[in-house]
Amino acid sequence: MRFLCLVLALVASPAAADQPEILGVQFDKAAGAWTVAVTILHPDTGWDHYVDGWEVLDAKGNRLGYRLLHHPHVEEQPFTRSLNALILPDGTQEVFVRAHCSVDGWSTVPFRVDVRP
């Protein structure tokens, strides 16, 4: 069974200039596990300043999954990267995604995703 949920950012936040901006999140369920694709916009300048990861959190702020980004995406903006085999606890209805910048840290406003079928 496949389930697809695509959410786009509807409100721009007054965040720091170099903070990663999550433009969209897609959840796809197959065989009991989720694949999560996150699209991010950030002015990566190279190894000294880039988005180096993103995470999926539950409503209480517990980490459910993490995607390490292995290199800057200077020439590819925005970019999308996926995390496979994410298991959500039974009853999970919403999750939050936030990105991490190598200089500015975690994005201050998590991106909410409704994962109810």
Q: Which domain covers residue 20, as residue numbers?
A: 4-114
Q: What is the CATH number of the domain that holds 75?
A: 2.60.40.10
Summarize pLDDT for 13-57 with one digit per residue, the tens.
444 457 898 999 999 998 889 999 999 999 888 898 999 899 999
Q: What share of the chain in percent tops pLDDT 70?
A: 84
Q: pLDDT at position 72, please?
A: 79
Quote the pTM value: 0.81
- Mean model confidence pLDDT for the chain: 84
E runs forming strands in the chain: 4-8, 21-30, 33-41, 51-57, 63-68, 79-86, 94-101, 105-106, 111-114
Residue 76 has pLDDT above 60, yes or no: yes
- Number of structural domains (the chain) is 1
